[in-house]
Amino acid sequence: MMNVLSFSKVAAKYRVTMDSAQRNEIRVHLNDGKLWRFSKMNCNYEIINYWYINLASKNEMSLNNRDKTNAKLAMKLYEHCNYPGYKHFMSFIKNNYFRNLPITVEDAKQELHK
């Protein structure tokens, strides 16, 4: 089980302490006197990152220059649309919501499925 917290949001509401010389953990002091402790979890991130990088490289190697350019354009458009969600974005492209769009649904899939 893993806990993912926004440190700034937790610290804005509760007192947060850490003393790595004493214990390698982050402590969140709740208002009712309770204490939540978060300590490091030992994971082998190097292997996960290695496989992710290899997979991305193989995917990019299968694309020609035009496909790479259009995939990047699709990502820029997705950002400019304020990240509408995968299904909505694909329907925008399929239904010609944008005029004279040089990208296709396949270009968008290449970039969004990374």
Q: Where are the domains of the chain?
A: 7-39, 64-112
Helices (H), the chain: 7-13, 45-61, 65-80, 86-94, 105-112
pLDDT number for residue 49: 45
Q: Among 15, 65, 97, 51, which residue's Cα sits nearest to residue 105?
A: 97
Is this prediction's pTM over 0.75?
A: no
Percent of the chain with pLDDT over 90: 5
Query: When comparing pLDDT for 103 and 39, which is higher?
Result: 103
Q: Is 67 in contact with 107 (CB distance < 8 Å)? A: yes
pLDDT digits (tens, 9 = 90+) for 11-35: 899 999 988 888 788 889 988 888 8
pLDDT over 60 at 61, yes or no: no
pLDDT digits (tens, 9 = 90+) for 65-88: 777 788 888 888 888 888 888 888
